A = this chain, B = another copy of it.
Amino acid sequence: MAENYLTASALVKQLGGELRGDDVILTRITSLQQAQEHDISFLSNPRLREDAVASRAGVLIVTEKSAAALVGRTLIITDDPYLYFARVARLFHPLQQARSGIHPSAIIAPSAQIADSCEIGANVVIGERCVIGEHTRVLAGTVIEEDCIIGNDCVIHANVTIYHGCQLGNRVELHSGCVIGADGFGFAWDKQKNEWFKIVQTGCVILGDDVDIGANTTIDRGAIENTIVEKDAKIDNQVMIGHNGKIGAHVAIVACTGIAGSTEVGDFSVIGGAAMIGGHLNIPPKTTIGAATAVSHSIKESGYYASIFPLQKHNDWVKNAAHIRHLHEMNQKIKALEHQLAELNGTSSNQQD
């Protein structure tokens, strides 16, 4: 799809690393398997070394250590081939620039301030007193309610909804279907009327610079204080962040994860996919939570936590899982056996005396 071309030597000039072998004209970055003579590819997972050897790629991005097995090939040597690949890919596929202008079908409230360099797509709706920064793109069908402040160079994809009063930093990317600032889930039970009474949600959502939010993810507004996602946090699709949550800087949260209200996730943490994290908890910085893991209490010490029920054939599961319900009893039986055996050994040793 990319129609520009680059040479290996030009890449090294721009991105660093060491070029080893003949210069090559490159038209595409692709996988080891698909690559042809004018393609560049990379080796970061050592398990793919055989694929690298077999690859027809014109240039391979590799570590010094991997280079030994690839003599006679054109290589770019770097400490971090995956990051280097990411940078090359960005050169072949530059970020789409905002096509400045407001589509005639967009409905912009009179008091909204939209920078001239913004791209506002078809059927976009922007509420009163919103402020939208330079070069930000708001794509078709997105609704931004009143009093939102959105920074520069953001990309808000099609059919996003941002409720009133939310704030986005610079270079924020929101994918389609995500909902920022819907009401948190707060109800007080009225014992006399025997019904729920809604707690008005008066906080907002604040997203820092360089935050990415995936498709159909929801981040609720705070009940009293704000829900906050710090800079460079990356959140995948279908994630749910409850009201008053605080997601630290550089955190990565993989798809389908739910984080209940008022929970804090420390900076640089990584939350695996489909993780389920309770409310009012604290996850310390630099913590990793494995995929599909339920967290129901705060974690005191950074580290790698995981907990899933191991996969089994259904028949084995039926046989084994039943015992989970009797683990306490099983443990009591072991204790009783230990006790009896200790007594018996006492007797035995008496007999041997």
Contact = CB atoms under 8 A, between A and B. Distances in A.
Given A159-B161, A311-B297, A252 B1 contact: no
Given A308-B294, A310-B307, A320-B327, A237 B185 contact: yes
A70 interface: no
Interface residues of A, number: 132
- Which 7 interchain pairs have the tightest Cβ spacing? A256-B258, A161-B176, A182-B215, A323-B327, A292-B294, A179-B215, A274-B276
Nearest to A340: B341
A107 B228 CA distance: 36
A313 interface: yes
Question: Taking the full assembly, how many copies of this chain does it contain?
Answer: 3
A273 B260 contact: yes
14 contacts: A82-B188, A141-B141, A141-B159, A161-B176, A179-B215, A182-B215, A187-B252, A238-B238, A255-B258, A288-B314, A293-B311, A305-B314, A307-B311, A330-B330
Interface stretch (A19-27, A110-118, A195-203): A195-203
B182 A30 contact: no
Interface stretch (A3-11, A50-58, A129-137, A218-226): A218-226
Interface of A: 1-2, 29-31, 34, 80, 82-83, 85-87, 89-90, 92-93, 103, 105, 107, 121-123, 125, 139-141, 143, 145, 157-159, 161, 163, 165, 173, 175-179, 182-183, 185, 187-191, 194-200, 202, 210, 212, 214-216, 218, 220, 224-225, 232, 234, 236-238, 240, 242, 250, 252, 254-256, 258, 260, 273-274, 276, 278-279, 288, 290-297, 299, 303-317, 319-328, 330-331, 333-334, 337-338, 340-341, 344-345, 347-348, 351
